[in-house]
Structure 1
Amino acid sequence: MTDCGCDKARRDLEEYLRNEVCHTEHTDITEHLATCEACRDEALVARTLTDVVARACKETAPEDLRIQVLARLREVQATHH
């Protein structure tokens, strides 16, 4: 078991959460998170934030709102030409 340390774990956290680190680094960070509560908490916050943003990006505005926004944009564009 090689503890990569807090600095490395935090520096590579985003890539780790997206599975963009090599297998060795992934294992090292996983082991570090298992023993370091502060880094584990930071990873939980980052993962939660990433999940919330991803869900928000998949949602679409209600059709009525989209129609209202597009109509207003057209009004503004028409008066500024």
Structure 2
Amino acid sequence: MIRDGDCVAIFHSIHRVMKAEKVLKGQGFPILLIPAPRALHADCGLAIRYASADRDAVEEVLAAEGLLPEEIHVKQGEQYLKIG
């Protein structure tokens, strides 16, 4: 479900993650709402997965909407490295 190099955005509210999903899909981004990986702590249990190539554009849209995630991680092998 999550490929190497994919970004995973963690939100601490189900409302924020759902709003972020709606905004990003409305902008045409190929994002996916996923269960938060067990290796990452997410209060709401959900995360948004997107390609690292879209990272700057995704974060720009989320910032404009006041919906920046609490944490962003990139998958590398079996690990998730915190970025940003």
How high is the TM-score relative to the length of structure 1? 0.27
Which structure has the larger Rg? 1
Higher fraction of strand: 2
Q: Higher relative contact order by CA 8 Å / sep ≥ 6: 1 or 2?
A: 2
Higher fraction of helix: 1
How high is the TM-score relative to the length of structure 2? 0.26
